[in-house]
Amino acid sequence: MNIIQSIAEMQAFSETARMQGKKIAFVPTMGFLHAGHLFLIRHGRSLADVLVVSIFVNPIQFGPAEDFNRYPRDWDRDVQLCKSGGVDVIFSPKAEEMYPESFQTEVSVPLLSKNLCGISRPGHFQGVATVVVKLFNCTKPHVAIFGEKDFQQLAVIKRLVQDLNFDIQIIGIPTIREADGLAMSSRNTYLTEQERRSAASLSQALFKAQELFQNGERDARVLIQAAETIITRQKNASVDYIKICDIQTLQDVNTIAQPAVMALAVKIGTARLIDNVVLKE
């Protein structure tokens, strides 16, 4: 397994692989890998001749009061997990090379970014879109794999790939969950033992709404209220949002007449956690 930090070296590696007729799969991460990441990595390994994983905590997607400096990191463990997953290259660029002093270009997908997390995290998806475009240009993949837990992020990436004519197949992988239903996330490590038990209410709320939907409920307000009731029973839970949105536009819907996503963001202690389920027949 190679570890590459230089952008030019990464581009040269990928270009050589392409000239040799090899297919490149890419899994972007911010490190502190968990079983959810490993599922993406194994899927990428099955799709291509060369598997590249990036480990880069992207500073421009964090707001001034967010957790960039304390975001969990464990380089040695990440390297071992990548080796065990059959990764060919870890691309771990330096922030100074990704964003030199002269850097000024931004990538924005405004309509898909303005709802849900875009309300409480202004500029977040602009930072995500910008770094993803840069990582694509560095790694030159044929296929890129993302988790569906970050539903809005995946929608933004699919949109920019289509709008900017990237010749890259984007694959979304269903959310990987703990035994009690909690969506796997690097930020779960922020949780105390009590908070960890409370965090299970997020998936319980989503699954309850999904059950009501399958039983015929189509009023978004009823489903949201049912989910909110479950979460707010937890004294250490603070709801940022619970919304039901059109699966394509991510705009709020009042009555579910076609596939929709119920998405939520909840603060448990110091951890802001997100999750979602798709509501469809």
Residue whose pair of structure tokens reads 């969950």 in the numeric block: 177
Judge whether 37 counts as a catalytic residue. yes
Strands 237-246 and 260-268: antiparallel
* Nearest of 177, 211, 181 to residue 197 by alpha carbon: 181
**Backbone torsions φ then ψ of 100, nearest 5 degrees:** -65, 170
Alpha-carbon separation of residue 281 from 19, 29, 172, 202, 209 (angstroms): 45, 32, 20, 22, 13
Q: Hey, what amino acid is at 207?
A: F
Largest distance between two CA atoms of the chain: 58
User: Which residue in the list 34, 37, 43, 142 is annotated as catalytic?
Assistant: 37
Determine the Cα angle at 126 with ends 188 and 156, to 5°: 75
Spatial contact of 243 and 263, defined as CB atoms under 8 Å apart: yes
Instruction: Please report the beta strands in 130-222, taking only residues with DSSP state E, as ranges in sequence order.
Output: 143-147, 169-173
Of the candidates 31, 60, 18, the one whose C-alpha atom is nearest the C-alpha of residue 168 is 18
DSSP 149-167: TSHHHHHHHHHHHHHTT--
Amino acid identity of residue 142, one-letter, is H
Distance between CA atoms of 29 and 271, rounded to whole angstroms? Answer: 19
Active-site residue list? 37
